[in-house]
Amino acid sequence: MSRATDKITALYCRLSQEDSLDGESNSISNQKTILKTFAQERHFTNLIFFVDDGYSGTNFVEVR
């Protein structure tokens, strides 16, 4: 049986097509801040971010 401490909260961020900055985009930084605040206000713990910075729905690569 899984204990509450074994659970993670997966948070997903994706690059905005309009954001063309070098490095980690402002869009990703803003998403991380918003998601972290949302999770913490609801007492979610063990936060893990998954970030697609540089890939969008128009340039993704299909993996088989």
pTM to 2 decimal places: 0.65
The answer to the question of residue 33 being in a domain is: yes
Give me the number of domains the chain comprises. Answer: 1
Range of the domain at 26: 13-52
CA of 28: how far to CAs of 32, 42, 49, 64, in Å? 6, 21, 10, 27
pLDDT greater than 70 at residue 17: no
The pLDDT tens digits of the residues spanning 31-61 come to 999 999 999 999 999 999 998 876 656 666 6
Instruction: Name every residue whose Cβ is closer than 8 Å to that of residue 16 and which is 6 or more positions away in sequence.
Output: 25, 27, 56
